[in-house]
Structure 1
């Protein structure tokens, strides 16, 4: 099913790649996004959906010193977020805080709470503890995983443990398992690796797969979704990693991002370099307690639908996030700096 974008839009001045739902803001549907300009002063925009749902309003505009390659909002404090940024050839990561009275200030400045220093190679992403108020976060560079302890009151971040992924492959990103917060999954150029954060050791892997992006279904245990380099989307049962249990066709070009809905099981968004966002519904025939190979012999036993394709973009779509406050809404960000917020209410499965 094809459909032009009918959502509400907002334009950044410069190119951009990342957008994050502000989960801790329980009063508004709001998002943070950051720009990627090589020559201009970069910006972080705090944008909110208006009370009538008809427009996107800029609530705060803050200068950021470098190009923003990754941005993630703190899950328990709406004024705190992380960025991964570059300055020339060097990459860094930091935790920032929006000033409390930013709406009344002429030129509000972000406060840098902590720098995530000590990385030896190119930093890829920062992952916050998935639920509740917690002082742990993880940063991933091309070679290592770092587990940090963050103290926002003292404005310090300290490395608790660090582990190398090995010399064979460059790490590219990761996802924290919301069903077991001791588990984290990383992506690399040819592997998906599963880590136990208590020991910082690898527990399992999927070989010969290049996933650009991964996400866990928060409503269904053991369900991991990957955006594959060859344009497809794979859904895995993490207890059975020999093959994906569902294969979705994905996009006409690279599938860049996948996001599982925070409330509706099997509802998945994907974004790609074909300038489209696709909405999928995937259903698996097995329950949480099924562990036999025979029940998952073939991906063809599983059912999926493409519910809609949002195709009114003029550039690659790299940024994608659901709203946790209104889980029938999502925000997408194309490389030309265009933010679009859509409602998927018409496509929701009936409960």
Structure 2
């Protein structure tokens, strides 16, 4: 389904490609963005959505040296974040702290509390320990993986271990497994590499070139989603790496980024150089899951592409779900346009009688709902436990 966004917008002064949810802010729905100007002093914007959801409030605007190519928020301190930056042939990565009085007009600028300065090649990204208060973070350059120990009280970071990916692999990014804190997935020009941080060794790989970005499914173990040069996304089962379990071609040019929802396991965002953001409901098939042919119904299965937001004027490189309000996501196009969008939630609890498969109930309801709501964008999240007498069906409308 094609459509424009009905979100409120916020314009940055310069071009930009980085946006991150402020995970540690439990009182507000807020995001950090960083600009990418070659000639001007760059900026970091702290943006909050008003309690009524009708306004975007700039809570802080800070100068930042050099072009910002990656930005990640600290999961346990809302005032701390990391950036990867470069200018010409120079590059760097650092951890920053927002000043306490950032809401005042005369507030001081960002404080650089640690430099990740052990790299000898171009840095691609930083990854924070997935959740909670932990002192570890990872930085990735074109050839190497670094594990850092970060001390907030002493305001310094030290290399705990490092390893080279080899001269034949040019690393481009990565993601930290939220189900196994010792595991990372790294993207390179020729493959997706799976690493164990305890040994700092590669444990497996997906020989699949031209993956731009990837993300783990927070709610579904062993599930990895990749953004493909071939104009779509792939979903992988890490126990069966020969082929993807789901291939979703939905972009007309390179897919640059992909993000899994932090709460609803089947909701996925993707964006790319076709100036579109796609919202998916993508559930990997299982051997015991009935198909639409299992039931006597003329209706077609629900299209996994729920909506394609196409009113951007430039490539979309930045996507972020809100962890605090997981029905809200934000997009950032290269021309500096930031748009948050909200998915409203309707809950239905159908009764599952004895002898009726819960997945059968799900399929039948989806078929009925698709007829009623054929003109609307909707996503469905379904879960059922054998020990409970009812299944829960959640329908989200964009």
Q: After TM superposition, is the score higher than 0.5? A: yes
Post-superposition offset of 1:208: 3.3
Residue 294 of structure 2 aligns with which residue? none
Cα separation, 2, equivalents of 1:187 and 1:19? 20
Residue 17 of structure 2 aligns with which residue? 17
Cα separation, 1, equivalents of 2:6 and 2:207? 40
CA contact (8 A) 1:248 1:304 kept: no
2:281 equivalent to 1:277 = no
Residue 48 of structure 1 aligns with which residue? 48
Post-superposition offset of 1:2: 1.1
Post-superposition offset of 1:107: 4.5
Cα separation, 1, equivalents of 2:18 and 2:194? 24
Scaled by the length of structure 1, what TM-score is found?
Answer: 0.94
Query: Gapped runs of 5+ residues in structure 1?
Result: 291-301
Counterparts of residues 88-103 of structure 1 (less than 5 Å) = 88-103=88-103
Residue 216 of structure 1 aligns with which residue? 216
Cα separation, 2, equivalents of 1:53 and 1:11? 17
Residue 343 of structure 2 aligns with which residue? 344
Post-superposition offset of 1:131: 1.0
Post-superposition offset of 1:340: 0.2
**Change beyond 3 A, Cα 1:277–1:27:** same
**Change beyond 3 A, Cα 1:184–1:205:** same
Post-superposition offset of 1:304: 5.8
Residue 63 of structure 1 aligns with which residue? 63
> Which consecutive segments of 4 or more residues in structure 1 shift more than 6 A?
none
- Cα deviation, 1:160-214, whole Å, max 9, x if unaligned, reads 0000001112000000000000000100001100000000000000113221000
Question: How many correspondences in the alignment?
Answer: 339
Pick the structure with greater CA Rg.
2
Residue 192 of structure 1 aligns with which residue? 192
Tell me the secondary structure at the aligned position of residue 38 of structure 1.
coil
Cα separation, 1, equivalents of 2:138 and 2:238? 21
Post-superposition offset of 1:266: 1.3
CA contact (8 A) 1:283 1:303 kept: no
Residue 334 of structure 2 aligns with which residue? 335
Residue 150 of structure 2 aligns with which residue? 150
CA contact (8 A) 2:3 2:308 kept: yes
CA contact (8 A) 1:234 1:244 kept: yes
Deviates most, 208-217 or 66-75:
208-217
CA contact (8 A) 1:71 1:81 kept: yes
CA contact (8 A) 1:49 1:55 kept: yes
Cα separation, 2, equivalents of 1:20 and 1:95? 14
- Cα deviation, 1:134-161, whole Å, max 9, x if unaligned, reads 0000000000000000001101100000
Tell me the secondary structure at the aligned position of residue 103 of structure 2.
helix
Post-superposition offset of 1:317: 0.3
CA contact (8 A) 1:146 1:159 kept: yes
Post-superposition offset of 1:345: 2.2
CA contact (8 A) 1:163 1:200 kept: yes
**Change beyond 3 A, Cα 1:222–1:303:** farther
CA contact (8 A) 2:231 2:249 kept: yes
Cα separation, 2, equivalents of 1:231 and 1:309? 14
Residue 307 of structure 2 aligns with which residue? 308
CA contact (8 A) 1:229 1:255 kept: yes
2:244 equivalent to 1:263 = no
Residue 167 of structure 2 aligns with which residue? 167
Deviates most, 203-212 or 192-201:
203-212
Cα separation, 2, equivalents of 1:276 and 1:55? 23
